[in-house]
Homo-oligomer: A and B are copies of this chain.
Amino acid sequence: MTGDRKPAVCVLGTGLIGGSVLRAAVAAGYEAWGFNRSEPGVRAARADGFDVSADIGAVLGRAADRDALIVIGVPQPALDTVLSDVRSFAPACPLTDVTSVKKPVLDAVHRHELGAHFVGGHPMAGTSESGWAASTPDLFKGAAWAISVDPGVHADPWTRVARLALDCGAVVVPVLSAEHDSAVARISHLPHVLAEALAIQGAGGGALALGLAAGSFRDGTRVAATAPALVRAICEPNADALLEVLDDTLRVLTAARDSLRDTDSLAQLTEAGHDARNDYDTFRRWAIEGIRPGDHDWLAKLAEAGRRGGVIEALE
């Protein structure tokens, strides 16, 4: 930080998530500004009183000048372009992202030789809408915000990212990138895949089926209303982890099908499913305390705590 200036945050990509980070950062007292590629996106943000521009050089020049924490909020396909720009204009700034997959982003960051100041992030929040218009400063209140504790992460940028997440109202889940990607394949990407498949079966029953549909179908297909391009941008970069989970899901569903066909029973599926949902309903986060960024073995200790459901609610 430079002198007594407030911490600075520079958000690249002001859609639903990036836009909400910008709003939440400003609300928390940060000096914050942003970049958006599209002129309508820039105009919408400026109309709401936010400092957003389509001039990436100027936006990142200011970030370098102010030692801003740069938050990458562009979709995965635009990542390489944005990383090139960061490398050109602000290579020494602390850097994070809010993308739904972590290992491919980490690999890209290393390709662009930006690994030294990078700490991956992923706030677990969203809606089926998208764009600046859907953004809100309260999006992250009470949400989990995954922050990478991969080997090699430095304490200074890590603390900057964690503080921003906490100031946005979230709790911090420390996680290895690869473990994050496996977990979100299970609880975020698979729900999308199954919602699409369920919607297809419902509509396949025509007007009669859609007319009889009630709460279980409505809730089970809710995320199928998300734009296909957005679902693909979320799921496809996590193909390896998603394939593993999808294969296992096919095994579970095939076993249930065989059991229903051969023994008229769904006992095993329904009991395992009910137990699993009960695990979710009774899961409680617990507060990680006493592990300070930079302490001996802090990354491994935080990774272990996060794996067991621990979250950081405050920085000492």
Which residue in chain B gives the minimum CB-CB distance to A253? B197
* With A190-B198, A198-B190, A267-B232: A203-B276 Cβ-Cβ less than 8 Å: yes
The smallest beta-carbon distance between A94 and chain B, in angstroms, is 23
When the two chains form their complex, are residues A217 and B188 in contact, meaning their CB atoms are under 8 A apart? yes
- For A281, list chain B residues within 8 Å (CB): 225
Instruction: Identify A260's interface contact among B202, B243, B249, B260, CB under 8 A.
Output: B243
Q: How far is the CA of A108 from the CA of B218 in the complex (A)?
A: 32
Chain A interface, number of residues (Cβ within 8 angstroms): 99
Instruction: Answer yes or no: A269 CB below 8 A from chain B CBs.
Output: yes
On whether the beta carbons of A235 and B266 are closer than 8 Å, the reply is yes
Do B239 and A274 touch (CB < 8 A)? no
Decide if A175 touches B276 in the complex (CB within 8 Å).
no
| Residue contact B273 to A200, C-beta cutoff 8 Å | yes
**A170 CB, nearest partner CB in chain B, Å:** 11
- Name A189-230 residues within 8 Å CB distance of B: 190-228
Q: How far is the CA of A260 from the CA of B144 in the complex (A)?
A: 28
Residue of B nearest to A235 (CB): B266
Interface centre among A235, A253, A308 (most CB of B within 10 A): A253
Binds B, one of A15-23, A52-60, A179-187: A179-187
**Considering the complex, which residues of chain A in the window 69-89 have a beta carbon less than 8 Å from any beta carbon of chain B?**
none
A219 to B191, CA, bound (A): 9
A194 touches B187 (CB 8 A): no
Indicate with 1 or 0, residue by residue over A289-316, a CB within 8 angstroms of chain B CB atoms.
Answer: 0000000000000000011110100000
A239 to chain B, nearest CB (A): 5
Residues in chain B near residue A204, CB distance under 8 A: 186, 248, 276
For residue A48, CB closer than 8 A to chain B, the reply is: no
Q: Does A247 lie at the interface of the complex (its beta carbon under 8 Å from any beta carbon of B)? A: yes
Query: B residues within 8 A CB of A272?
Result: 196, 200
A38 on the B face (CB < 8 A): no
B208 x A216 contact (CB < 8 A): no
At the interface, yes or no: A146 with Cβ under 8 Å from chain B?
A: yes
Complex CA gap A254/B193 in Å reads 11
| A245 interface contact, C-beta 8 A | yes
Q: Whole-angstrom distance from the CB of A3 to the nearest CB of chain B?
A: 38
Q: Pick the most buried of A126, A195, A201, A227: most chain B CB atoms within 10 A of its CB.
A: A201
B203 and A279 contact, CB distance less than 8 A: yes
* Distance (whole angstroms) from the CB of A142 to the closest CB of chain B: 10
Q: Return the 6 tightest CB-CB contacts between A and B, nearest first.
A: A196-B273, A207-B309, A203-B276, A228-B270, A199-B276, A224-B277
Q: A194-B194, A246-B256 given. 8 additional CB < 8 A pairs?
A: A186-B209, A187-B210, A187-B216, A217-B280, A219-B219, A228-B271, A232-B266, A236-B266
Interface residues of A (CB under 8 A from B): 124-126, 143-144, 146, 173, 175, 179-180, 182-184, 186-188, 190-228, 231-232, 235-236, 239, 242-243, 245-250, 252-254, 256-257, 260-261, 264-267, 269-281, 283, 285, 306-309, 311
